[in-house]
Amino acid sequence: MPESSVPNDPSLMEKIVNLSKRRGFVFPSAEIYGGFRSTYDYGPIGVQLLRNVKDAWWRAMVQMRDDVVGIDAAILSPPAIWEASGHLENFTDPLVDCRQCRERFREDQLVDPTTCPNCGGTGTFTEARQFNLMFKTHAGPVESDAAVAYLRPETAQGMFVNFSNVLQTSRKKPPFGIAQIGKSFRNEITPRNFIFRSREFEQMEMEYFIHPDADWLACHEEWLRWCQDWLQSIGLPASHLSLHEHPKEKLAFYSRRTVDIMFRYPFGVQELWGIAARSDYDLKQHQQHSGVPQVYFDEATKQKVVPHVIEPAVGVDRILLAILCAGYAEEDVTDDKGNVEKRTVLRLSPRIAPVKVAVLPLLKNKEALVARARELHAKLKRNYAVFYDEGGAIGRRYRRQDEIGTPWCVTIDFETIEKDGTFTLRERDSMQQRRLTEAELFQLLAEQVY
């Protein structure tokens, strides 16, 4: 039994940042140059976790569903898209400068809007001006207005501008969805909370197109349920999840409803996944700005209609952080000799765990043990991310795997090579051990890892 899953530990974030660095989940970007403006790099273990989360989403969202197809649109995009979407005008934060110390602040985050938190000046702020959060660059050899390009601040517009192309090529009609996983960029004034809010992040978004007269509320509820179910399917506990309904009066005029799935992070309950009913706003905007009809032919009414849309949008990095926060635990455990030691364990679902199985020969100087371990390892890695480790005492090797969330360790011992060929299977959470055959191991993996 875990002594503590440290849910309210104020130092939990610090522990997670440290573990991330120590075990290769997340490194500060360009660290040898002092880091770079709240960007992060995923290390060898982190990238496996990232891939597993994205693959699980893609499998559930695209592969398993007959009504959703994927795309992968470009990050560089022309102003025309963001003019139509409203981002050029409205995707802004209000900024003020202190005339005394020249520091710059987000006006809506100032505790005291008259006093500079940096130099203490009173009444030294300039009028607020709107600062656009899109990263701007220039494509082509001339830095003119005509060459301006933006890094997309969301993947969603990629689905809208490709709506007609997908409609024509995919043999789908509403209700159907277009899904995408990819990087987005927002020039946040105050990135914070590790990978929770950074300037470069990855999104998993899906636009689900429905007939204007369809029961949008039922569809919205269905996606809300789907998203919660999926989060639990990769191991996030229901106890950490809650819903936040955006008040009607705060919704944009075109928006019918937005509900956020919230996650209880160590720094507070924060938005994880937004599920929005966006009416036909986006397609109508693109229709108007591009002059290209954004319609489909409805067989029932024999009319061309602009569909409405339900949009579940989630950040991969936020999911990753939620997984680390929910999975992190410290326990006092007692060894064979009665010594109590602390173990750190990440309780990750086998589906998303970076390493599925660690293969450990009991002793590294016994050729037969090593040969059998290597043989098993070679067989497993054809289908799974596995790790071979022969270094150090077996208990220490278990601990190393616990820290990166490996659900199972398989030890090749003398019983394996001298008796019945069975291995010791050591389970991460219970730390219990039992013997099993190679066939049983493959069956266990086939059932638990998908």
Stretch that binds a copy of itself, among 8-16, 18-26, 215-223, 305-313 (CB under 8 A): 18-26
Residue count of the chain: 450
Report which residue type is found at 117: P
- HEC assignment per residue over 427-442: ECCCCCEEEECHHHHH
Nearer to a copy of itself, 191 or 274 (CB): 191
Residues 322-381 touching a copy of itself, rule: CB under 8 A, are: 381
Contacts of 34 by beta carbon, 8 Å cutoff, 6+ apart? none
* 3-state secondary structure at position 269: strand
Query: Starting at the edge strand that comes first in sequence, how are the strands of the sheet with 433-436 ordered?
Result: 386-388, 357-361, 408-412, 423-427, 433-436
- How many residues bind a copy of itself, per CB under 8 A? 82
Token code pair at residue 269? 């309950």
Is residue 44 at the binding interface for a copy of itself, with CB under 8 A as the rule? Answer: yes
The CB-of-419 to a copy of itself minimum distance in angstroms stands at 28
Shortest CA distance to 16 belongs to which of 386, 449, 405, 395? 405
H or E stretch at 139: none
User: For tokens 């601990």, what's the residue?
Assistant: 399
Q: Which of 10, 112, 145, 171 binds a copy of itself (CB under 8 A)?
A: 171
Q: Which of 45, 277, 323, 326 binds a copy of itself (CB under 8 A)?
A: 45
Residues 295-324 touching a copy of itself, rule: CB under 8 A, are: none
Is residue 37 at the binding interface for a copy of itself, with CB under 8 A as the rule? Answer: yes
How many C-beta neighbours within 10 Å does residue 415 have? Answer: 15
- HEC assignment per residue over 366-389: CHHHHHHHHHHHHHHCCCCCEEEC
CA–CA dist 359, 370 (Å, integer): 10
Residues facing 297 on adjacent strands: 304
Q: Which of 5, 12, 16, 46 binds a copy of itself (CB under 8 A)?
A: 46
Cα Rg of the chain (Å, integer): 26
Shortest CA distance to 371 belongs to which of 315, 327, 379, 349? 379
Q: Which of 52, 85, 124, 164 binds a copy of itself (CB under 8 A)?
A: 164
The CB-of-355 to a copy of itself minimum distance in angstroms stands at 11
The CB-of-63 to a copy of itself minimum distance in angstroms stands at 6
Residues 185-204 touching a copy of itself, rule: CB under 8 A, are: 185, 187, 189, 199-200
Q: What is the DSSP string of 99-133?
A: TTT--EEEGGG-SSTTB-TTT--BS-BPPPEEEE-
Stretch that binds a copy of itself, among 180-188, 217-225, 420-428, 430-438 (CB under 8 A): 180-188
Is residue 226 at the binding interface for a copy of itself, with CB under 8 A as the rule? Answer: no
Q: Which of 3, 4, 14, 80 binds a copy of itself (CB under 8 A)?
A: 80
Q: Which of 16, 116, 151, 358 binds a copy of itself (CB under 8 A)?
A: 151
Stretch that binds a copy of itself, among 3-11, 69-77, 246-254, 270-278 (CB under 8 A): 69-77
Nearer to a copy of itself, 104 or 248 (CB): 104
The CB-of-447 to a copy of itself minimum distance in angstroms stands at 12
The CB-of-160 to a copy of itself minimum distance in angstroms stands at 9
**In angstroms, how far is CA 161 from the centroid of its own chain?**
24
Shortest CA distance to 107 belongs to which of 87, 93, 119, 117? 93
CA–CA dist 410, 433 (Å, integer): 9
Residues 237-266 touching a copy of itself, rule: CB under 8 A, are: none
Q: Which of 66, 112, 299, 418 binds a copy of itself (CB under 8 A)?
A: 66
Residues facing 409 on adjacent strands: 358, 426
Residues 404-443 touching a copy of itself, rule: CB under 8 A, are: none
The CB-of-83 to a copy of itself minimum distance in angstroms stands at 10
Token code pair at residue 377? 């390892």
Q: Which of 11, 14, 18, 31 binds a copy of itself (CB under 8 A)?
A: 31
Stretch that binds a copy of itself, among 179-187, 260-268, 339-347, 362-370 (CB under 8 A): 179-187
* 3-state secondary structure at position 299: coil
Report which residue type is found at 52: N
* x/- map, 268-287, a copy of itself, by CB under 8 A: ------------------x-
Residues 120-149 touching a copy of itself, rule: CB under 8 A, are: 131, 135-142, 149
CA–CA dist 193, 317 (Å, integer): 11
Q: Which of 104, 304, 342, 419 binds a copy of itself (CB under 8 A)?
A: 104
The CB-of-23 to a copy of itself minimum distance in angstroms stands at 6
Nearer to a copy of itself, 182 or 274 (CB): 182
